[in-house]
Structure 1
């Protein structure tokens, strides 16, 4: 049913992504679909990497580790953005198109009052992408 799954990840907060990573791996195994981990990084040095190429290497290593841990096919796709906080939705929509993904598995938070004013990342992706979106709440 699904041919390629992408999972947006923030390497600075991997410890809070266990539930979404396990869900994506289970779906990948169930549908025999490779899982591509997508990360968005600024070209400026940050807490995770000093450059986009270093970030790409770290994201690739993370994807390989996930593949070994869960026994699934994996890849990575790094996107460079001048302002990842502002451009995140557009960067993810571009990554979906670039990778040919037909399922996005992404983490979310418990909705709060602000979500009635500003849409969540998952809501925006679901509204503007042809891929299905599986939103995983909590840790």
Structure 2
């Protein structure tokens, strides 16, 4: 059913991503699907550019790639079925671009419990659900049981 699964990960909240990774691992085993872990780095604001080292973005990318590689090692997905990538830009835009690039047929991502501010401003998960050209599984965190 699924052959290409994208799992966006916020490296600042790896515990939150564990449930999405577990779902992707299950789908990978069940459907012999490939899984791509994705981290999106924010762009350095122009007003801060003069206050950070010239190679700041390069350092951030290397740190993100190392952290994502550690997540990949510990995720329980067979290495032949797993890849990872770090992109830079707007979160939901980069998620949608990566999904298109790898021809994902499923995006598995986590989301915090909705708050009033997300009803007015929207969330990254909300944008992905609205605009993705493939199925999206949102694994909810912090929901009341």
TM-score category, normalised to shorter length: 0.7 to 0.9
RMSD of aligned residue pairs (Cα, Å): 2.3
| Pair 1:115–1:4, CA change in 2 (3 A) | same
TM-score (ref. length: structure 1): 0.80
Match of 1:84 in 2: none
Displacement, 1:9?
0.5
| Pair 1:115–1:58, CA change in 2 (3 A) | closer
Distance 2:134 2:110 in 1: 16
Q: What SS does structure 2 have at the residue aligned with 1:117?
A: helix
Matches within 5 A, 1:97-108: 97-108=100-111
| Pair 1:94–1:31, CA change in 2 (3 A) | same
Displacement, 1:71?
3.9
Distance 1:113 1:51 in 2: 32
Distance 1:98 1:17 in 2: 22
Displacement, 1:127?
1.4
Distance 2:43 2:66 in 1: 14
Which contiguous aligned blocks of 4+ residues in structure 1 show a shift greater than 3 angstroms? 42-46
Matches within 5 A, 1:5-16: 5-16=5-16
Contact 2:28–2:77 (8 Å) recurs in 1: no
Q: What SS does structure 1 have at the residue aligned with 2:100?
A: helix
Match of 1:55 in 2: 64
Distance 1:30 1:111 in 2: 30
Distance 1:124 1:64 in 2: 29
Distance 2:39 2:65 in 1: 8
Identify the match of residue 87 of structure 2 among 79, 83, 101.
79
Displacement, 1:97?
1.1
Match of 1:33 in 2: 33
